[in-house]
Amino acid sequence: MLGTLPGFLGVAAFAGIKFVGYSLAVTGVKHFEPAIVAAATKVAAVRTGFGFLLGPPATFLGAYITDAMFFRSGYSPFQNAAAYGALFIARIFIWALVFYLFTKKVALPRSSSWLYSLLGAVVSSLLDWPGYALAIAAPGKFVIC
């Protein structure tokens, strides 16, 4: 099966979209939550880094688990949605880790932390669309078989 992977420019475009989106999202959260005192760009840089470190393994693990649990009998149109749902759950926990790291000295209420983490996961998911579109449109793709 023939496919492509984004090259360096595609990965940079994807990371740029995520970083800018995360910066704007954290700026919005900081208006409601004084416990986050770090610069929005610092939080966004850490979250983008975690996304690149933990995103691919979480995606592949989610795809494997959903395939093993629900779709052993063959391909289902819900397979991608289930794998993306698993990735969404992973994103909630990644955002929770980020908020924990940046609010250790000031206690952030647990309910607020999980709400912000859920909103962060929504933002992360929405940023996939323009990020992916730019990544596949950028020159320098790698063709794989």
Q: Between 40-70 and 8-32, two packed helices, what is the crossing angle to 10 degrees?
A: 110
Q: What is the pTM of this model?
A: 0.85
Q: What is the CA radius of gyration of the chain?
A: 17
- CA-nearest of 142, 44, 92 to 36 is 44
Q: Tens-digit pLDDT profile for the chain (145 aa)?
A: 456 778 889 889 999 999 999 999 999 999 988 888 899 999 999 999 999 898 788 777 777 777 776 666 666 667 777 778 888 998 999 999 999 998 877 777 788 889 999 999 999 999 999 998 888 888 887 777 6
In what helix (H) or strand (E) does residue 143 lie, and over which residues does it extend?
Answer: strand 142-144
